[in-house]
Amino acid sequence: MAKAFIIYASTASADMHHLIAHDVHDPFMYIHTDGGANYVACSTLESARMRDVPGVTVMPLESLGFDDFKAKEPDETTAELDCYAEALRQTGVTSALIPPTFPTQAADFLRARGVTLTVDEAFFSDARRCKTQSELESIMRAQRAAEEATAYVSDALYRSDVAEDGGLILDDKPLTCEHLQYLVRLAYLKHGCDDGGTIVAHGPQTCIGHCAGFGQVYVGEPVTVDIDPRDLARGCTTDMTRTFVKGEVNDELKFYYRLVKESYDRTLAAIRPGIATAELHRISCQPMIEAGQPTQLTKKPGESLVEGYFHSLGHGVGLEVHEPPSLNQTPGELVEGDVIAIEPGCYRQGFGGVRLESLVLVTKDGGKLLADYPYELTPQPLDAKYQD
């Protein structure tokens, strides 16, 4: 990168974690000079691990005068900021780009010392779009966890019995969304992942945005499993959705499923580098429009949709579960190396609906599907590959 930039954050920041692969819980400063050199100013506690990062020169705070600053400043935070200002002086950085998450206190401090800081959100998000090999491997570890978690839910629905009132029973207890969410998290633990987000919702809840889901599941109603485990080893996530129905599928759900699957298939076939994200979203809307369902493309200006295909097609996925590109009507194009989640859906308030979602890697030849899990509505018993 030719432009100088600085990041001041812990590795909870996706921008920082993209550059520093291991976990660092306290904020530190990453400096990239306009000459292409990289520096990390950090505590001595972190300096040993930082020296293992290729291409980075480590500047422990003590080497930047921390002890002297601490003796004269009112608090340690100010002393640390003095060190970061000194690091910028020593590296010759007087003007730099910063992400929008850069702390206001640090920005004010550095600007007061003559450093020009310019917020450039696109610069940092674009730098993360083409995934590294370690990030792709991390995404796939999370993906395997998501698939096994979904299989656990499918198996529980498959094995459940139906009570007289239509409620599902498993092991002599009501089968609830909460229990299914518990099974999902067991799969996360097995695969070294934590909970980036878990939705197991049933019936009308499946039409309520990001409703996590609660209560007993009933025969014949949709169950949406929308999950995004985060791989602990590298920090990347995935995003995957399937919809299941225990028992007979009514005509309305069959209708929604047919539309959503057609939208999904058309979209997947159209993915390639250079295609406008707005065009991809348009392609996903077409089956819904042809069937008379509301979409973002056909709604009136100012109207807030709550039914039909009321959301966008999807989003990028990586160190954050929602990151660029946005697959809606905003300007932009897919680039080789993007990992995107495509997730068309169709719903009716008070009833529910169907959503299907998988990750796709954008390659020079088109789109490579990263998910390996079926799309059928009917729950299936646990496949042997998911059993211990």
Q: Any idea where the domains of the chain sit in the sequence? A: 5-127, 133-386
How many Å apart are CA 153 and CA 169, to the nearest integer? 14
pLDDT reported for residue 209: 84
Confidence check: pLDDT of 1 > 50: no
How many Å apart are CA 325 and CA 91, to the nearest integer? 33
pLDDT in tens, 282-318: 999 999 999 999 999 999 999 999 999 999 999 999 9
Q: What is the 3-state secondary structure (H, E, C) of 70-129?
A: HHHCCCHHHHHHHHHHHHHHHHCCCEEEECCCCCHHHHHHHHHCCCEEEECHHHHHHHCC
Integer-rounded Cα radius of gyration of the chain:
24
pLDDT reported for residue 387: 80
Six token digits for residue 239: 């995003």
The model scores a pTM over 0.85:
yes
How many Å apart are CA 345 and CA 264, to the nearest integer? 9
pLDDT reported for residue 2: 61
Helix (H) / strand (E) element for 326: namely strand 323-327
Exposure letters 333-369 (e unless 16+ CB within 10 A, then b): ebeebbbbbbbbbbbbeebbbbbbbbbbbbeeeebee
Q: Is 37 helix (H, G, I), strand (E, B) or coil?
A: coil
Nearest to 226 by CA among 180, 263, 283: 180
Count of residues in the chain: 388
Pairing of the two strands 116-119 and 240-245: unpaired
Instruction: Determine the average pLDDT of the residues in 106-116.
Output: 98
pLDDT in tens, 169-226: 999 999 999 999 999 999 999 999 999 889 999 999 999 988 999 999 999 999 999 9
CATH number of 5-127: 3.40.350.10
Q: What's the chain's average pLDDT?
A: 96
> So what CATH class is 133-386?
alpha beta
Separation in Å, CA 106 to CA 7, 85, 102, 301: 11, 10, 8, 41
Chain-centre distance of CA 239, in angstroms? Answer: 6
